[in-house]
């Protein structure tokens, strides 16, 4: 039997946000919540946020929106353990602590709004999460998602893609490999010989991140309305149609 990612009969869907920087994706969700509340039809609410970066906008966003926020400096955490940031065992400790921070909020879904991408299984198993990757996770080569990982936009440009997409997906223990929910409208690659490759990458990444904010707000709204389902085989269904590679806007 197909099951909704969230059952609207439970009431309002509780959303918690994870962020490391500006939190613009979370702000887009908060703004959408306010718009829908004015219309009297919002079925979700942002209940709090967490950041791993004391220089992020978590405090400002939390304070201005009257939301609880937690900040746990991940770099300081690793330094206290005498470990490097790629130590996944320490990351498990950090994520277990983050889970304890978020438990009182009882979120139905956690959005990775610009959060560090290398989250591990203790966190993934605690909450359903959604993340937006700034490259097209539908592209598969040699049995793997070609643009997964931190350098997805650069990899897509180096591969000669003429169009780029952001893809929003369910978070899984394997980085950037959860089921795809939404795919952004395309960003056409600009071919300008006067730009360095790094400038070209930054230009397209900025546009793709703008698309990501729209995807987050739409996905949260649609999940809260029960429009995304999961089949017993793990296939995602949206508006009663299977979407093995996500729904492209």
pLDDT in tens, the chain (249 residues): 899 999 999 999 999 999 999 999 999 999 999 999 999 999 999 999 999 999 999 999 999 999 999 999 999 999 999 999 889 899 899 999 999 999 999 999 999 987 766 777 888 889 999 999 999 999 999 999 999 988 999 999 999 999 999 999 999 888 888 999 999 999 999 988 788 999 999 999 999 999 999 999 999 999 999 999 999 999 999 999 999 999 999
pLDDT of amino acid 117: 60
230 - beta bridge partners? 3, 236
Handedness of CA 182, 117, 67, 170 (dihedral sign): positive
Give 191's DSSP letter: -
For the CA atoms of 197, 202, 205, 210, the dihedral, rounded to the nearest 10 degrees, stands at -150
pLDDT of amino acid 105: 95
Enumerate domains of the chain plus CATH numbers: 3-244 (3.40.50.170)
pLDDT of amino acid 116: 65
User: Three-state SS across 108-154?
Assistant: CEEEECCCCCCCCHHHHCCCCEEEEECCCCCCEECCEECCCCCCHHH
Query: Among all chains, which residue has been given the structure tokens 């498990």?
Result: 92
pLDDT of amino acid 42: 96
- Those residues whose C-beta lies under 8 Å from the C-beta of residue 188, and which sit 6 or more positions away, are 162, 163
- β-sheet with 3-4: strand ranges across: 3-4, 228-230, 236-238, 241-242
Are 159 and 146 a contacting pair, CB within 8 Å? yes
Distance (Å, whole) CA 26 – CA 33: 11
Are 244 and 235 a contacting pair, CB within 8 Å? yes
pLDDT of amino acid 192: 81
Are 132 and 150 a contacting pair, CB within 8 Å? no
169 - beta bridge partners? 131, 180
Neighbours of 69 (CB within 10 A): 21
Is the full-model pTM beyond 0.75?
yes
């Amino acid at each position: 039997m197909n099951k909704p990612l969230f059952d609207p009969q439970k009431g309002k869907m509780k959303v918690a946000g994870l962020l490391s920087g500006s939190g613009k994706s979370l702000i887009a969700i908060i703004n959408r919540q306010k718009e829908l509340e004015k219309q009297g039809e919002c079925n979700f609410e942002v209940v709090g946020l967490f950041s791993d970066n004391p220089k992020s906008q978590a405090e400002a966003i939390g304070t201005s929106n009257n939301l609880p926020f937690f900040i746990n400096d991940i770099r300081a955490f690793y330094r206290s353990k005498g470990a490097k940031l790629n130590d996944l065992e320490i990351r498990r400790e950090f994520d277990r602590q983050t889970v304890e921070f978020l438990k009182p909020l009882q979120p139905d879904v956690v959005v990775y709004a610009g959060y560090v991408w290398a989250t591990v299984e203790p966190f993934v198993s605690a909450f359903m999460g959604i993340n937006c990757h700034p490259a097209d996770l539908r592209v598969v080569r040699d049995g793997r998602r070609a643009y997964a990982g931190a350098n997805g936009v650069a990899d897509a440009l180096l591969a000669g893609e003429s169009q780029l997409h952001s893809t929003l997906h369910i978070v899984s223990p394997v980085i950037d490999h959860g089921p795809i929910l939404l795919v952004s409208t395309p960003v056409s690659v600009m071919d300008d010989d006067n730009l360095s490759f790094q400038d070209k990458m930054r230009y397209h990444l900025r546009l793709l991140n703008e698309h990501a904010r729209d995807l987050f707000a739409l996905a949260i709204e649609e999940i809260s309305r029960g429009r995304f389902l999961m089949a017993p085989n793990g296939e995602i269904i949206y508006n009663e149609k299977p979407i093995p590679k996500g729904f492209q806007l």
